[in-house]
Amino acid sequence: MESLPRPRLDLLSQSWRFRRPPWLGMVQSSRGCPYQCEFCSTSAFWGHKFRSRPTDEVVDEVRSLGIRFLFFVDDDIAGTPSNTKILLEKLIPLKIRWASQAGIGIAKDDKLLSLAQRSGCRHLLVGFESVEEKSLEAVHKRQNKPSEYKELIRKIHDYGIVVQAAIVMGLDNDSNEVFQKIDYFLQEAEVDIVQLNILYPYPGTKIRDRLQKEGRITSKDWSNYMLAGVNYLPHKMSQQELYDGYKWLLEKKHLLRGDLEKNFQSPGVGAKRRHHPENESGPAPKLPTDSGHTQYDSTSPGTCE
């Protein structure tokens, strides 16, 4: 992915409902994922071959943004650990704070976690997806082992990094007991932030093809696919039971809904409790206190203001 054109974020409409906060830069250092998770829409979009951008180009883009707070919009920032380590070494002198998405495998590599922490990582969104091994096997996410989750979360916390857990409900092995199990896991493992999702059989995914063949898709109204509603027939519970369980967890977990902005300034719940001495990489840069336009040229391409 050499010489990738930079995204013209300035072209995004101000009214775009998912626009980023002005103090947060977005950079992509890699695309694709070699895994075959049945529900995954991002690998359907970016493909199954993992590709990294040259690390110097990524660092140049970060520098040019002039923003100290970044989200790397990679599907897995640690997809090729050797390349990620080179990138993180180069990010250390920039004294930024960053967040990204990563597979839980990142927690098995201490060198990677240490470099992530030293380069300013404060927040990782990890796709745990399910606390049921059978559910994970059924959707071909075999790289995740629920029996390892707690220990691996603890390791990420050891480096002062907040863990945001992405969970999917309504997989074929999920019965209406799954909501209690998720609740127990989130509390026991001291997850800082949770992203709860009902399964969405998006077009292009393997799970949509399968559910379509099985006659289980119940809605093609795309407005129902915006993180609300159940658009297929679950296997071991009714649509209503799935929706009610999801709502029950959402309400129960309101205290766990953290804030990316605050995490850049100080570690979250679990991470704070296990703050590692090696984490003291200097004070966090201050977030803008006004509209956030202070740290970069608001007219240049590469910003959305």
Strand order of the β-sheet with 162-169 is 25-27, 69-72, 97-102, 121-129, 162-169, 193-198
Q: What residues numbered 270-299 form the site for ligand SF4, per CB under 6 A?
A: none
Task: Please name the residues in contact with 60: beta carbons below 8 A apart, sequence gap of 6 or more.
Answer: none
Distance CA 80, CA 84 (A): 6
**Contact map string, positions 60 to 99, toward ligand SF4, x by CB under 6 A:** ---------------x------------------------
| C-alpha closest to that of 65 among 122, 6, 3 | 6
Alpha-carbon span 135 to 287, nearest angstrom: 41
Rank residues 76 and 158 by Cβ distance to ligand SF4 and give the closer one. 76
Min. distance of Cβ 102 from ligand SF4 in angstroms? 10
Q: For residues 127 and 302, which CB has a smaller minimum distance to ligand SF4 in the complex?
A: 127
Closer residue to ligand SF4 (CB): 75 or 190: 75
Q: Considering only residues 22, 25, 103, 268, which one is a binding residue for ligand SF4 as defined by CB under 6 A? A: 103
State the binding string over 147-186 for ligand SF4 (x if CB under 6 A, else -): ----------------------------------------
- Answer for the pair 53, 30: CB distance below 8 angstroms, yes or no: yes
Q: Residue 23 interacts with ligand SF4 (CB under 6 A)? A: no
Provide the mask over 122-141, with x wherever binding to ligand SF4 is found by CB under 6 A and - wherever it is not.
-----x-------------x
Q: Within positions 219 to 248, which residues make up the interface with ligand SF4, using CB under 6 A?
A: none
Q: Name the nearest CA neighbour of 161 among 78, 59, 41, 249.
A: 78
Q: What is the rounded CA–CA span in Å between residue 300 and residue 230?
A: 42
Show the binding pattern over residues 34-63: x = contacts ligand SF4 (CB under 6 A), - = does not: -x-x--x-xx--------------------
By beta-carbon proximity to ligand SF4, the closer residue of 67 and 168 is 168
Task: In angstroms, give the least distance from the CB of 182 to ligand SF4.
Answer: 17
Q: DSSP letters along 94-152, please?
A: G--EEEEEE-GGGGG-HHHHHHHHHTTEEEEEEEEE-S-HHHHHHTT-TT--HHHHHHH
Nearest approach, Cβ of residue 42 and ligand SF4 (Å): 5
Q: Smallest distance from the beta carbon of 9 to ligand SF4, in angstroms?
A: 23
When the beta carbons of 169 and 287 are compared against ligand SF4, the nearer one is: 169
Residues in the chain: 305
- Binders of ligand SF4: how many residues, by CB under 6 A? 10
The alpha carbon of residue 102 and the mean position of all alpha carbons in its chain are separated, in whole angstroms, by 7
CA distance linking residue 113 with residue 161, whole number of Å? 9
Give the CA radius of gyration of the chain.
20
Which is nearest to 216 in space by CA: 247, 176, 172? 172
- Residues of this chain that interact with ligand SF4 (CB under 6 A) are 33, 35, 37, 40, 42-43, 75, 103, 127, 141
